[in-house]
Amino acid sequence: MDTQAYLLQLGQAAKRSGFALANLGVIAKNRLLGRIGTELQLAFDDILAANGKDVAAARASGLGEAMIDRLLLNEDRLKGIIADIDNVISLADPIGEEFDSRLLDNGMRLCRRRVPLGVIGVIYEARPNVTVEIAVLALKTGNAVILRGGKETRESNIALAAAIRRALASEGLPEDCVQLIDNPDRALVSGLLKLDKFVDMIVPRGGQGLQRLCAEQATIPVILGGIGICHLYLDKDADTNRAADVIINAKVQRPTVCNALDTLLIHQDKLGWLPKLAQSLQEKGVKLVACEQSRKQLDGAGIASEAASDESFGTEWLSLTLGVKVVSDIDEAIAHIRHYSSGHSEAILTDNLAAATHFMNEVNSAAVYLNASTRFTDGGQFGLGAEVAVSTQKLHARGPMGLEALTTYKWLGIGDYTCR
């Protein structure tokens, strides 16, 4: 079958399957999720064997150990993936709620009803856990899903998707509620991004390159996200005795993720404290990339650093590197954030109420913190129970996306043969 014919069939099957899911009640959907857990359990050894093939192929092709660790499934990890399904089962189902109901002057009753989006396309990297996680979240909200995982986890994804599809079939639902594009041809990604007749939303879960590809090629609405150039501004009225822990937490607790701290903006009055902080950071393995003024201070205390640049301030480090910049006041900090931020997460540390208010008002990222670590921007931490992605755009959903981000609403109008 040629690419276009394959994509057409894929889209049609997804749309048709979405209609079959749209009006399922929560008990039926939870039973389905439970069945997925059972099927994954039944296929436990097959899935690990399939993953073993992926790992062997990755090793043979010279992939680094960090990458191999990302795609590796072992008994514990697969058990964890299955256990996480129970968490999604326990979440409230947003579908079906009616809200904003009103009686119009002409006697018509009008309301909005929360409904599934329909079909969601998810493009992601070599993380087999995402295959199950996204399928389960999509099904919980009555959506069909088209999955396109990294080619390095092809065998694992085939085994996982097959188990999920068996669960669908055994519940009397169309298997095509969950479809996996297992052909590594890149043309299929471009084609998927243009299936606007059938797919309602694209979620790219991956790096800057994938995000740009989707923004540029998609004719379907895309949720961009997951890129965090995050800032923390240490105000002149911050309590430095307490601030160090927060800065270290934001940078060090998990440096490879999007909500980790990238740039520390430090008020010039606090410059004298910088060496002490820098020492604590360096003890944790943090490398500093600092502006001229802060380097002078660090040099004076014998602390090594590299020179920051316009480019370095626009970098998401995803590692134990921290940009440092001295600012003369809070407005310089805000201006820096507006210029360099990716709109993910920013924080101010201060005991001054006016500074706190000003920062919270003027900084317009998805999450803005007062006296807290940027590391909190996370669906689990926010109590959403699940996280589809972290959106850094402003439409539809912003910041951590829970189940509701996989829904829309329709307007229902009930008249009595009512004319305008």
Alpha helices in 187-273 (DSSP H): 187-192, 208-217, 240-252
How far apart are the C-alpha atoms of 376 and 318, rounded to whole Å? 16
User: Which of 246/266 has CB closer to a copy of itself?
Assistant: 246
Q: Determine, following the binding rule CB under 8 A, whether residue 284 of this chain makes contact with a copy of itself.
A: no
Closest distance between a copy of itself and the C-beta of residue 311, in Å? Answer: 16
Q: Determine, following the binding rule CB under 8 A, whether residue 369 of this chain makes contact with a copy of itself.
A: yes
Number of amino acids touching a copy of itself (CB under 8 A): 67
Which whole-number Å values give the CA distances from 384 to 218, 282, 347, in the listed order? 28, 35, 21
Q: Determine, following the binding rule CB under 8 A, whether residue 393 of this chain makes contact with a copy of itself.
A: yes
Q: Is 175 exposed, middle or buried (0-12, 13-18, 19+ CB in 10 A)?
A: middle
- Which range of residues in 70-78, 121-129, 144-152, 374-382 is near a copy of itself by CB under 8 A? 374-382
Binding mask 241-270 for a copy of itself (x = CB under 8 A): -xx-xx--x---x-----------------
Q: Determine, following the binding rule CB under 8 A, whether residue 333 of this chain makes contact with a copy of itself.
A: no
Q: Determine, following the binding rule CB under 8 A, whether residue 344 of this chain makes contact with a copy of itself.
A: no
Interacting residue with a copy of itself among 6, 8, 19, 63 (CB under 8 A):
19
User: Which of 128/379 has CB closer to a copy of itself?
Assistant: 379
Interacting residue with a copy of itself among 36, 349, 388, 401 (CB under 8 A):
349
Q: Are 387 and 222 in contact (CB under 8 A)?
A: no
The end-to-end CA distance of the chain, in Å, is 50
Q: Which of 178, 147, 143 is nearest to 162 (CA)?
A: 178
Contacts of a copy of itself in 71-90 (CB under 8 A): none
Q: Determine, following the binding rule CB under 8 A, whether residue 394 of this chain makes contact with a copy of itself.
A: yes
Q: Is 395 exposed, middle or buried (0-12, 13-18, 19+ CB in 10 A)?
A: exposed
Q: Are 96 and 409 in contact (CB under 8 A)?
A: no
Q: Are 336 and 314 in contact (CB under 8 A)?
A: no
How far apart are the C-alpha atoms of 301 and 57, rounded to whole Å? 49
- Which range of residues in 112-120, 124-132, 146-154, 300-308 is near a copy of itself by CB under 8 A? 112-120
- What is the residue-wise DSSP string for 294-338? HHHHHHHTT---EE--HHHHT----SSEEEEEEESSHHHHHHHHH
How far apart are the C-alpha atoms of 102 and 267, rounded to whole Å? 52
Q: Which of 171, 147, 134 is nearest to 35 (CA)?
A: 171
User: Which of 41/381 has CB closer to a copy of itself?
Assistant: 381
Closest distance between a copy of itself and the C-beta of residue 383, in Å? Answer: 6
Q: Determine, following the binding rule CB under 8 A, whether residue 396 of this chain makes contact with a copy of itself.
A: yes
Q: Determine, following the binding rule CB under 8 A, whether residue 215 of this chain makes contact with a copy of itself.
A: yes
Interacting residue with a copy of itself among 66, 76, 99, 417 (CB under 8 A):
417
Cβ contacts of 285 within 8 Å, gap of 6 or more: 252, 320
Write out the residues near a copy of itself by the rule CB under 8 A.
19, 22-23, 102, 104, 108, 110, 115, 117-118, 196, 200-201, 215-216, 219, 221-223, 239, 242-243, 245-246, 249, 253, 338, 349, 360-362, 364-373, 375-377, 381-383, 393-396, 398-400, 408-420
